[in-house]
Amino acid sequence: MDAKRINAIVSGRVHGVGFRYFVLRVADKLGVTGWVRNLGNGDVQVVAQGSAELLEQLLLQLRQGPRAAYVQNVSVEWGEPDPHLDSFELKLTSYH
């Protein structure tokens, strides 16, 4: 597999609507690794890696979000995979 990594910032109404748990379920279903966390400014950050095809599927889901969410924008940076990402997890909110 030719693995890739994305760093995505999701903005809109994405806090308090189960967005992180939605991402966790989607990532688990797709079999990608990485993490998701809320950001102090109201956005959600998703770092994920897997095949480009799987990451594109994840991005489609991020743009929709769970039912209660309203996604305004998803900005994405593509990069090389991180060998230390071997599962998908929830991280604590970052206020930086």
Sheet holding 70-79, edge to edge: 70-79, 3-13, 44-51, 33-38, 88-90
Active site residues: 20, 38
Q: How far, in Å, CA of 4 to CA of 94, rounded?
A: 24
